[in-house]
Each structure stands twice: as structure tokens, then as C-alpha cells.
A and B are shown apart, each in its own frame.
Chain A
Amino acid sequence: KQEVTQIPAALSVPEGENLVLNCSFTDSAIYNLQWFRQDPGKGLTSLLLIQSSQREQTSGRLNASLDKSSGRSTLYIAASQPGDSATYLCAVSPSSNTGKLIFGQGTTLQVKP
């Protein structure tokens, strides 16, 4: 059974710092992995999607990496800003024959001015 874990559950950093959020999954047979952002009480905004054949994806100040063999993904945020404060969720799609996503519990990030 696929399980997704995100550590730490919460993180507080000063503005301008570079930071890394971690995501691990127990079964390396995934189709893809998505990183989402969620503001309090709101829906999910897709940040990056990495296919299982890819090693990383970049969008602006965000860079996501994927290491299937070790069951790990990281989301790197460069030069953090207070507007980056939110909960970050990673989710894996178990196979190409399903749209089901399995989520971690998220990391709540606070960037202090």
C-alpha cells in the first residue's frame, strides 16, 4: 500500500532564506508526482508535476526533484517571501491507469518578514 510522508509538518524561516521541503513514498512504482500549494481554507494550486521518467522540474523560484529509487522528492524554494506562506502538499499517482492521487499530510510553511 502506497504511503506518502512529508517532514517536517511545519517550518518557519526568515524572509530571503532558501529552503527545502521533503516528501517520501513507500512504493517506487509511481506514474508521476505533483506538488501543490494550499492557502488556509482554500483549494489546491498545482505547482509542479514530475513524470516518473523525469528527475526534476522548475518553475520560477521553485525546483522539484524526484528520485524514484529512493522514494523521495524535494521541493526547493529559492529566496523565500512572506507570500510563500502556505501548506505544501505532495501527491503521487500510483499508475498510468488511474487518476487517483495519494497525498502526504503537508508541510505548513511560514516565512517571516
Chain B
Amino acid sequence: DAGVTQSPTHLIKTRGQQVTLRCSPKSGHDTVSWYQQALGQGPQFIFQYYEEEERQRGNFPDRFSGHQFPNYSSELNVNALLLGDSALYLCASSFGFRGYEQYFGPGTRLTVT
């Protein structure tokens, strides 16, 4: 049973560029949440997708956008990258959007230079 997978593992981008990160949920899960984790900090909630719609959003600017596909996989897009966007981006999946147990992927390390 495959767990949550994310791609790519690492990514280096230049300030001002755009980036797309991908996530496939754990088998049987239909909800995907994205988190940003800066070095030495706890993860911060970006947004959650359920039934292909953004259901809830954290305190992140519109430069952060996402998408969920019919197979429940998801993308996180970040436009106009800033140095401060450098972080580990974590994807979590669950069955249903309610407060059920969440399973996390290995993350994508984004470095903005």
C-alpha cells in the first residue's frame, strides 16, 4: 500500500520564477492538505483540497494556488517566488476533510536563490 508520495524531492529556483509541486495521496484517501515548514519551525497550513475544490485556506498570499485532480492527486503552485518561500513543502492526505488522522509525504525541499 503506497503512502503519500511527493515530487520532486528537491528543487532550486530563482527569485521571481514559478514552481509546481506534486502530491499523490495515500490509497483510499480523497483529501489533500499542503503545509510549509521553514527551517526550525513547525509546519504551517497552506490550504486543503476536497472534491477538487479548495475547502480551507491558511494565511498565505494568492501567489500560492493549488489544484486537485479527479484521481485525488494535487498540485501546489507558487508564483513570483521570494527568498522567504524557501522551505520544506509537505503534503498530507486523509479520508474526508474533517479532523481525521492525516498522513504526510516525505516533502519537497524548495530553495529560492
Contact = CB atoms under 8 A, between A and B. Distances in A.
A43 B105 CA distance: 6
Interface residues of B, number: 33
Contact of A49 (B4, B40, B101): B101
Interface string A23-37: 000000001101010
A41 B88 contact: yes
B106 A93 contact: no
Chain A's interface size range is: 20 to 34
Given A32-B99, A97-B98, A99-B100, 15 more contacts: A42-B106, A43-B104, A43-B106, A46-B101, A93-B99, A99-B31, A99-B48, A99-B98, A100-B45, A100-B58, A101-B33, A101-B45, A102-B45, A105-B40, A106-B42
Which 10 residue pairs across A and B have the least CB separation, nearest first? Answer: A103-B42, A93-B99, A31-B99, A44-B104, A43-B106, A43-B104, A105-B42, A43-B107, A100-B45, A49-B101
